[in-house]
A and B are shown apart, each in its own frame.
Chain A
Amino acid sequence: MNRRVVVTGLGVVAPNATGLENFRSAIRAGKSGIEKIPLLEDLKFACQIAGIPDVSEELKHQYFDELTVKVLKSTGIIYGSIAGIDAWKDAGFDVSSDNEIDWDSGCVFGSGLTGVDALRDAIYGVDALKVRRLGSRIVEQTMASGISAYMGGILGLGNQVTTNSSACSTGSEAISMCYDRIKLGKATRMLAGSCDSEGPYIWGGFDSMRVLTRKNNETPEQGSSPMSEEASGFVPGAGGGALVLEDLDSALSRGAKIYGEIIGTAVNSGGQRGEGSMTAPNPDGVRRCILQAVDSAGISPNDIDAICGHLTSTMGDVIEVDNWSKALGRKGTDFPYINSLKSMIGHCLAGAGSIECVAALLQLEGGFFHSSINSENIHPEIEKVISKNKIPHSLMEATNFDVIAKSSFGFGDVNCCIIFKKWNNN
């Protein structure tokens, strides 16, 4: 049986907006969520700007009981849970502690280093010989699968409940894994998402590697400039995104709103061979991944109308655009439109893929393509490959794109590509 997989719910907590409607408005407006972070300055970071979601105490109380609000130190779990609960409700499902368990629904909810603040408390406690005072809520926040454990309990999921982790491709990979599970008939619907926390303990290593921008501490909103000549390193971010993936028959039978169809995915690794390494992608791996996704979707490379790139605002952008061009066999004015959400929100690490896929679906469904802000001075190496008109500097309306491709790449030379198709009721 050839099952089809559609997206019936979305939720997001991003540096430039919390909640789906706010996020839609923010990306349409090209709103930056990057700010100067005084703590990073105090701690002598070279990069002192970042994208951190705005989640008030009041908002937390709408999603968690009082006790959990009090003990929850992992902001990644907070962002991921809010996004996941929103997506589940958006898909039309009940979220209450006494709802019945759903054996056909599960989740793959990825994370990076979400529990680091809880872990910090635990380390201080243990070293001060106060291990008996750590309490019962440290493990659930520091285990890698903390976020999927929270989601499984809050939503009452009875199918597979797990966390994946593949650096900056985590979110897209979670979607690919959920897609596979539904295709195989092992689940009817899956919550796919990812999240990451913010903070100096997560970002310090990147700062030391000099992969974060150091030139924009006084101009934070211009700090993330993917595909631009000014791109000088990524801006760290945090947040969470979630999508409800569902078997088409199930979605149709319950009259669910459909944001789009997932028609193909691919996940691979460049093996850290050739030009690939721990930190750089092997171009052969990237191109194979893109082509495998296109093949699995049963479309031609020419059918892709637009690309929501990984595009982090580093020298890697030049390589990524070149890889897309070579993989699809398209260049100049024939190249698809391309943008980068990271221009507004920075790089949310493990959270990036899912947040960016939420944006891709909003654009596909809403018939618009957001501005890739701060890209006015296109990198000359990129302009040699694609026409500058393919990178929007302002909101494109009434685009009516049929197919959008989304890519994510991560440390460890891992790649993921997802192909979304507009839902036309056929």
Chain B
Amino acid sequence: MEREEIKNKLAEIIKPYVQDMDAFGNISETTDLLQDLKINSAHLIDVVLDVEEAFDIEIDDESVEKMITVKDSVDTILACVTAAG
């Protein structure tokens, strides 16, 4: 799965959780999920669960903690997808 494809799919997943739609309109790899998109930190776990379901992967706790920006998240998903073969 290509990086760009993962990024687009990720954007679709996080869209309903985003509280700053202007920031979402300018989303890039450096966008911070909590700081920029204003996603409620309690809901971040729901984003992770939705990502796991959409990509059919399981993200370990250590990796979840590193998912701060879009880039971190795409890297994590890519690693899991690749590992899953």
Contacts and interface: CB of A to CB of B under 8 A. Distances in A.
B42 interface: yes
B16 A135 contact: no
- Counting contact residues on chain B (CB < 8 A from A), the size range is under 10
Interface SS, B side: helix
Contacts of B16: 65-67, 70
Given A66-B16, A67-B16, A67-B17, A137 B46 contact: yes
Interface in B18-55: 42-43, 45-46, 49
A135 B49 contact: yes
Contacts of A70: 16
Contacts of A65: 16
Interface residues of A, number: 9
A136 B17 contact: no
Contacts, number: 16
A135 B17 contact: no
A254 interface: no
A44 interface: no
Nearest to A135: B46
A331 B28 CA distance: 77
A133 B53 CA distance: 10
A66 B16 CA distance: 7
Contact of B45 (A66, A71, A136): A136
Nearest to A70: B16
Interface of B: 16-17, 42-43, 45-46, 49
7 contacts: A66-B16, A67-B17, A70-B16, A133-B49, A135-B45, A136-B46, A137-B46
Interface of A: 65-67, 70-71, 133, 135-137
List 10 tightest A-B contacts by C-beta distance, closest first.
Answer: A67-B16, A136-B42, A135-B46, A136-B46, A136-B45, A66-B16, A135-B49, A136-B43, A133-B49, A67-B17
Given A66-B16, A67-B17, A67-B43, 13 more contacts: A65-B16, A67-B16, A70-B16, A71-B46, A133-B49, A135-B45, A135-B46, A135-B49, A136-B42, A136-B43, A136-B45, A136-B46, A137-B46
